[in-house]
Structure 1
Amino acid sequence: MAYDLIIFDMDGTLVDSEPLANRVFYEKLQPYGLPPEVDEAGLAHALTGLSLPSCFTLLRDRYGLVLPADFEDDLQAETYRRLRSELQPIAGVPAMLEAVATRKCVASSSELDKIALSLDLCRLSHHFGPHIFSAQQVERGKPHPDLFHFAAAQMGGHPPAGCAVIEDSLPGATAGIRAGMTVFAYRPAGDDAAFDALGCRVFRDMAALPALLLA
């Protein structure tokens, strides 16, 4: 393959967790004054790809939400409950991972325990082993490049030019480009303009990715 290391985002790229997590987040915010004009889709658009601390900062700065100290614990408990009962891999991901023989890791805005649980629930853990990395481990999450640089260093010091990043969100794609890596943007429903402008290689079907990584 043309790359030495493939760095996968997780939520929305490997596992179909984003609709589930966004629904829980939206439901849990209702008692705390989320403006009525902000619907579930709008909230999802604002928060997708961000770490949880970055989500809370955005909610405070944009909407003036002041959340109680136990909000995160309550949110996480319900999110994990839904993950355990509903989570599925993204269509085509299991076969795609079998076809990609290059070294792989996960670099996600989610917490380490959520990454491990999600991969396990979707029977994807064996493709990555211990090679999972979280925004918890770096000073700045996506859209900053820190997490991808950290992952490449932990995987043996791979230079950015030899790394491919697989992402579905604009913050994640921005982080990959800023890291100096090639970004393959998974956009099954279109909405490509911002990703094209960044210089991403856009694709719509996970079955196409192995061949794209060879090109």
Structure 2
Amino acid sequence: MSSSAVKSAGLSFKARRYHGVVFDCDGVLVDSERITNRVWAGLLTEIGLPTTTEQSLATYMGNTMARCLEIVEERLGRAAPDDLLPRFHVAARDALARDVVAVEGIVALLDALDARGIPYAVASNGEHEKMRTTLGATGLLSRFEGRRFSASDVAHPKPAPDLYLHAARAMGLEPTDTLAVEDSPLGVQAAHAAGLTVVGYAELVSPERLMTAGAVTTVAQLSQLHGLWEMDEPK
């Protein structure tokens, strides 16, 4: 990537050649956030914490399930039922296996990266089992073989930088040479803290929130990211 400003696709930050890309999973690779938050909102409503899907997205999106449980108990003022997380995992797995699809434009974007020999990985606060379910259901699993990284692999989940540092190092990349694509403020904070350059995918969260969290720019569609790979090749 050249050192000139990226003007195509509406991207305006100062670009440079990145040696790799790390994607968040839920909401960036697979269109799963609405599905899982619908399930979560329904269960919370059942236990006495009335919640809509939109409220769930605003409150829980990007967090680990352990942190989600902490938030629920803070709001309830008491311990959540012991079976809340097991029920969620079963219901979410079934709903994802049935309904999840790849995010529009991601297949073409991965094809463009492959064509240019740019390596990529996924770094998710979700568990490996969940990634296997969603990436498997959308036909993306094999594209991330050996390059799937979960918060369970590190000491601290997003928004701590641990996961992105782990992903970059496992790929043999310097964080400063690596681009991240994130759709949640927590994820943006994590990648930014790790030293990656972050592009925010503003499909469910406003561009302003993602920029405040540390994104250098935002896109409304993944197809806009093609401008990053169409820069002049290095000499």
State whether TM-score is above 0.5. yes
Within the candidate set 126, 129, 144, 1:110 is matched to 126
How many pairs are equivalent? 212
Q: 93, 105, 113: which one pairs with 1:92? A: 105
RMSD after superposition: 1.7
TM-score by length of 2: 0.84
Structure 2 partner of 1:202: 218
1:134 counterpart residue number: 150
| Residue number in structure 2 paired with 1:171 | 186
Q: Deviation string for 1:10-69 (max 9, x for gaps)?
A: 1001100000000000111223221x4x43311221100111111111212244252222
2:92 to 64, 79, 90: 79
Return 5+ residue gaps in structure 2 as ranges.
2-16
The alpha-carbon deviation at position 100 of structure 1 amounts to 1.3
Residues 203, 221 of structure 2: 8 Å contact kept: yes
For 2:37 and 2:174, locate their aligned partners in 1 and report how far apart those are by CA, in whole Å: 34
Structure 2 residue 71 is matched with structure 1 residue 58: yes
Q: CA deviation at 1:113?
A: 1.0
Counting aligned pairs with the same residue, the percent is: 30
| Structure-1-length-normalised TM-score | 0.92
- What is aligned with 1:187? 202
Distance apart, 1:123 and its partner CA: 0.7
1:143 counterpart = 2:159: yes
| Deviates most, 15-24 or 94-103 | 94-103
Q: Which amino acid aligns with 2:122?
A: V
Q: Is the 8 A contact 1:104 1:127 kept in 2?
A: no
CA distance in 2 between counterparts of 1:42 and 1:68 reads 21
User: Which stretch shows the higher mean deviation, 196-205 or 23-32?
Assistant: 196-205
Alpha-carbon contact 1:33-1:65 (below 8 Å) kept? no
What is the deviation of 1:108?
0.4
Q: d(CA) in 1 for partners of 2:181 and 2:192?
A: 11
